[in-house]
Amino acid sequence: MSASDYESASKGASSDVATFDDEEKGLFGRFHHALHATPALVPLIVLMVAIGIFAIVLGERFFSPGTLTLILQQVQIVGILALAQSLIILTAGIDLSVGAMAVFSSVIMGQFTFRYGLPPAVAVAAGLAIGTGIGAISGWLVSKVKLPPFIVTLGMWQIVLAANYLYSQNETIRSQDIRDEAALLQFMGIRFELGGAIITMGVVTMVVMVIVLAYMLRSTAWGRHVYAVGDDPEAAELAGVNRHRTIMSVYMLAGFICGIAGWIMIGRFGSVSPSASTGVVGNIQSITAVVIGGISLFGGRGSIWGAFFGALIVGVFELGLRMAGANAQWTYLLIGALIIGAVAVDQWIRKVTA
C-alpha cells in the first residue's frame, strides 16, 4: 500500500521507552512531585510551621495539651462543615448553605424534643434526616435541573435560614432545660480528660469522620466517581459513571454531615439557638478551610485531610494570635493571605510540566 510508505521512514527510530534524567529535577522537582501526588502535604506543613512558631513565641502557654485540644474543640463545628463542603467542592460545586443546614438541624432536634415531646433520639434522627433531605433538594436541583450549585445553595441558604426562624419563632432552648430533660442532645459535648488534654465527643466524631470519609474517597468506587465527576462530568458519564446518583449522594451526605454539625453545636453551646452565628459565617468559614486545605474549587482535586488541616490552621491562628494579644483583625488579615497563597500554590502544583 503506497499510502503508508511514508511510515517506513520511522523504522530506524529507537523504540526504547523514553527515559528522562531524574537527577535534573533535583530536590525542588521531587518536592514538586510529592506535592502533586499528596495534595494535603502543603496544609500539613503550614499547620506544623504555625504550631511551631506559636510554640516558640508563646511557650508552654500555647504548646500544652490543654491549649492544643482547645483548638480542636473550637474548630469542631467548622471542621465538620468543612468536610461536607469538601465533598461538594470535589464535584466542582460549592455549598453556601452548610451553616444554615447545621443550625436548622439543631433547631429541629431541640424543637422536636421540647415542642412535640418526642424522645431525644428520635429528634436527633429527625434533625439528621432533615439535613439529608435539604441536601437532596439541592442535589436534585444541581443534577437534574442543571442549575449552578452557587445559585442553588445561595437560595437554599436564605430559604433554610428563614425557615429556621419561622419554625422556631426565634425561640432559644436553654442549656439548663436540655441538660435536665434531654441530655442526649448534648451528647457531643461530653468531655473527658487525658493528661491535661480535654477531648469532647464532638472532636472524636470529627476525627472519625475525617478518617471514614478519607477511606470512602480513596478506597471505594463511590470515591473515585466523586473525583471523576468533579474532574470532567461528561467524561465520567461516558466512561460509565452514574453522574446523577453520584451528585445526589454527595449532596445528601453533605446534608447529613451538616446535621451532625448541628448536633455538635448543641453539645458545644449547650443551648439551641436559631440565631447562632454558624448560620451566617459557617458557610464562608467552611469554604475558607477547604481552600486553605488545598482542595481545588474547580473540582476533582484535593483530599479531605487537607480540609481538616485547613480548619485546624484557622483555629491555630485564631487562638495563637489572641493569646499573643494581637488585634483580632490580624487573624482575618493572615487568613485572607493564606487563602490567596493556598490557591496560588494549587495552581503551581497543577503545572505538571513545571
Residues forming contacts to another protein in the complex (CB under 8 A) are 1, 3-4, 6-7, 10, 13, 17-18, 215, 219-222, 224-225, 227-228, 231-232, 234-242, 300-301, 352
- Distance from C-alpha of 77 to C-alpha of 102, rounded to nearest angstrom: 9
Cell of 69: 485540644
What minimum distance in Å lies between the beta carbon of 321 and another protein?
35
Q: Which is nearer to another protein, 74 or 91 (CB)?
A: 91
CA distances from 144 to 88, 148, 233, 251, 282 (A): 16, 11, 13, 13, 27
Torsion on CA atoms 324, 327, 331, 332, rounded to nearest 10: 180
Which helix (H) or strand (E) element contains residue 59? none
Q: Which is nearer to another protein, 180 or 234 (CB)?
A: 234
What minimum distance in Å lies between the beta carbon of 260 and another protein?
21
Q: Which amino acid is at 242?
A: N
Strands 191-194 and 197-200: antiparallel
What minimum distance in Å lies between the beta carbon of 91 and another protein?
12
- Distance from C-alpha of 79 to C-alpha of 311, rounded to nearest angstrom: 5
Q: Is 191 helix (H, G, I), strand (E, B) or coil?
A: strand
What minimum distance in Å lies between the beta carbon of 13 and another protein?
7
93 neighbors 254 (Cβ within 8 angstroms): no
What minimum distance in Å lies between the beta carbon of 131 and another protein?
23
Q: Which is nearer to another protein, 3 or 194 (CB)?
A: 3
Q: Which is nearer to another protein, 242 or 327 (CB)?
A: 242
Q: Which is nearer to another protein, 194 or 352 (CB)?
A: 352
What minimum distance in Å lies between the beta carbon of 43 and another protein?
18
Q: Which is nearer to another protein, 268 or 301 (CB)?
A: 301
CA nearest to 123, candidates 106, 133, 111, 109: 109
Q: Which is nearer to another protein, 195 or 240 (CB)?
A: 240
- Distance from C-alpha of 72 to C-alpha of 64, rounded to nearest angstrom: 13
What minimum distance in Å lies between the beta carbon of 288 and another protein?
23
120 neighbors 182 (Cβ within 8 angstroms): yes
- Distance from C-alpha of 311 to C-alpha of 253, rounded to nearest angstrom: 20
What minimum distance in Å lies between the beta carbon of 238 and another protein?
4
Cell of 133: 433531605
Q: Which is nearer to another protein, 265 or 290 (CB)?
A: 290
